[in-house]
Amino acid sequence: MESVINSAILSLTGFSKSNPPIHHQKAVKARRTVCCSLSSSSTSKNSNDGGDANGLLKEEEEEKYNDIWELFKEAQQNILYLNKQRLVAVEELNKANREKQLLLDKIQQSEAVNKLGNEQSLWWELLLRIDSMVLTGLIDSAEASGLRKTVMGNKFSVALVFFNIRQKTDAELLAKLRHFSDKNVFHIIQICTEMEPLVSVGSLSSYVTGLSKALQKKGHMVEVILPKYACLDLTEMQGLREIEAELYSYFNGQLHGNRIWTGIVHGIGVTLIQPLYYSSFFDRERVYGYSDDFERQKDWPGHLFLRE
């Protein structure tokens, strides 16, 4: 029994001697625990730094967005202001154009009055020169009467032919008057699609106007007949008026009604025909350039009205 107790004491003593290594392991484990605690603290710090960086990025993005929005609102305000200024400028331009047109109308009226006064003065001067030729014995009263009828019957042509009578002697003027009264005077009617400045597409328009002026200077009476296009420029047409009468033209096998307008352009009598039934033929923005150009223009003389 005693030997058993001694052996138990010895075994406990041996177990006690092996404890120091175990205590050493506990110390190592304690250091590892401290190290883990430091690592966790570092990770937490890095996480806080990342959150701060994300916050800064969001603030920068918000600032950029606000700046862009402010620029957009400023640009929008500028556009509205410029549009308002544009409307004001357009209104001022329209007002200036209206005033300009009124001034041009007054000038044209003044020129027409002056022209009429000059023509009347020219006619009377011619008649007085004829009277002086009778008094001086250059012509007899019978010839003088015939010359007076010629002057009064061709007032417009006379104004073009005898505009420089003050520079001529009685003998020169008499020779010209005799030549004017003896020659055949024609009434020439030009039926065309263009005339300057009413409607001009090519060289035809200027040719029609130039030829008409040249023929009138020769003493002939010239008239131009045109369709009443929607694109006509009537600013230089004087005395434009509609004839109040029923006038018809024969076209496409039937008689059709027309509205007729007359006026004067550069001293040339102009007649404008506005078909009622085929109004779409000429009520367009352009003269040419449509698929039915040939149909519209080939029978244009057929649109001439019949005077009844």
Read off the pLDDT of residues 183-242 as tens digits, 9 standing for 90 and up.
667 778 888 888 999 988 778 889 999 999 888 877 777 889 988 888 888 898 888 888
pLDDT mean over 241-262 = 79
pTM of the model: 0.45
Mean per-residue pLDDT of the chain = 73
- Which pLDDT score is estimated for 308? 35
The confidence band for 23, taking pLDDT boundaries of 50, 70 and 90, is: very low
Residues 262 and 269 sit within 8 Å (Cβ to Cβ): yes
Q: Which CATH number fits domain 187-308: 3.40.50.300, 1.10.10.10, 3.40.50.1820, 3.40.50.2000?
A: 3.40.50.2000
pLDDT mean over 109-132 = 69
Read off the pLDDT of residues 65-78 as tens digits, 9 standing for 90 and up.
888 888 888 898 89
Extract long-range pairs of 257-266: CB within 8 Å, 24+ residues apart: 258/303, 258/305, 259/228, 260/305, 261/228, 263/234, 263/237, 263/238, 263/239, 264/237, 264/238, 264/239, 265/195, 265/197, 265/198, 265/209, 265/224, 265/236, 265/237, 265/238, 266/209, 266/213, 266/236
- Which pLDDT score is estimated for 128? 81
Residue 131 predicted with pLDDT over 80 = yes
> Does residue 307 or residue 266 have the better pLDDT?
266
Read off the pLDDT of residues 268-303 as tens digits, 9 standing for 90 and up.
889 888 877 766 666 666 666 565 555 655 555 444
Domain ranges of the chain: 60-183, 187-308
Residue type, 248: Y
Read off the pLDDT of residues 160-169 as tens digits, 9 standing for 90 and up.
677 667 778 8
